[in-house]
Amino acid sequence: MLLQLSDFEDIAEFRVLRDGSFATLGLITIPQPAMLVFLEEERFLKRVRALDGLGAVITTPALAKRLDGPYALAQSSNSRRSFFDLHNHLALETEFYWRSHPSEIHPTAEIHPRAWINPTDVRIGRHCRIDANAIVHARVELGRDVIVHSGAVLGTAGLQRMVVDGTVVDLAHAGGVRIEDNVQVLCNAVIAAAVFRQSTTIGAGTRIGNLAYLSHNVQVKERCQIGHGAVISGNSFLGNDVTIGPGSTLTDGIHVGDGAHVTAGATVVRDVESGQRVSSGFAVEHRRYLRFLSTMR
């Protein structure tokens, strides 16, 4: 679905300088075709200019003068607020992101009587099991042989907000959750939906521990193990065969390569290379950390 930027001037309080169409909204750090983005700081100007297939930009009057690409362009006194208002309008009041359909549950799936499945926009595949008090929200898709243990929550909102003139504005989560075959989500784990036209994705064979939290648009490949109480913040990526130790935290947008290991309790603030093992309060290469500890004796 393509929308025309000029149709939303009043709703999002911007002025169109160059009209055109867009297919989705998103952040410049995660490019999508024909995407609408906002730009409020000069330090991101080069990144916007480098985006291929950009649909539209909402920016400040000063930065608008420096954007002359083939995309639609609008200016706003608060480009972030205009972006939030436009997204929330499309997510909450239109079918731009998602067209509703009755939920589909395969007859071989086992759903506990005390589990709650949203009556629309859920797909549950063959031989899945949803235990007592688990909650499956709209826009969640389960492959086959998925087990969702008691108290787990799939497809809820994450935390994405801004403060404008003392008012807190939350960004609606309009995306979904896709869980592939043979995944287990243990008790009281929470997996948030993506924000835009994307899905938080859990790859085949992955195990997610009790009380773990995976935020919006996290991408987890196959056969990963996410320990009890771990927190994976928004837009992070885990390759195949990654281990995330219990109680560890990954900040926004972290990339963890194939076969890497984040030990228990580590706080990861930078990317982890394939096969690397990282440790400590702020995660560093494991052997460096051990050498550092040896100097303290």
**Model pLDDT, residue 153:** 98
Summarize the confidence of residues 265-286 as an average pLDDT: 90
**Model pLDDT, residue 22:** 96
Per-residue model confidence as pLDDT tens digits over 68-79: 989 999 999 999
Q: How many CA atoms within 13 Å lie on the side-chain side of 151?
A: 9
Specify the CATH number of the domain 104-293: 2.160.10.10
Maximum pairwise Cα distance, the chain: 67
**Model pLDDT, residue 276:** 96
pTM: 0.90
Model confidence band, residue 297 (pLDDT cutoffs 50, 70, 90): low
**pLDDT over 90, % of the chain:** 85
Task: Report yes or no: 115 and 132 within 8 Å, Cβ to Cβ.
Answer: yes
Indicate whether 200 pLDDT > 90: yes
**Model pLDDT, residue 292:** 78
Say if domain 3-93 classifies as CATH 3.40.50.720. Answer: no
Summarize the confidence of residues 186-207 as an average pLDDT: 97
CA distance 184 to 148: 6
**Model pLDDT, residue 288:** 81
Numbers of helices and strands, H then E, in the chain = 5, 35
Indicate whether 21 pLDDT > 70: yes
**Model pLDDT, residue 46:** 92
* Per-domain boundaries in the chain: 3-93, 104-293
Q: Which is it for the CA torsion 259, 185, 215, 211, positive or negative?
A: negative
Indicate whether 30 pLDDT > 90: no
Per-residue model confidence as pLDDT tens digits over 214-269: 999 999 999 999 999 999 999 999 999 999 999 999 999 999 999 999 999 999 99
Per-residue model confidence as pLDDT tens digits over 140-167: 999 999 999 999 999 999 888 777 778 8
Active site residue 216: yes
List 87, 149, 216, 261, catalytic entry = 216
CA distance 245 to 283: 12
**Model pLDDT, residue 126:** 98
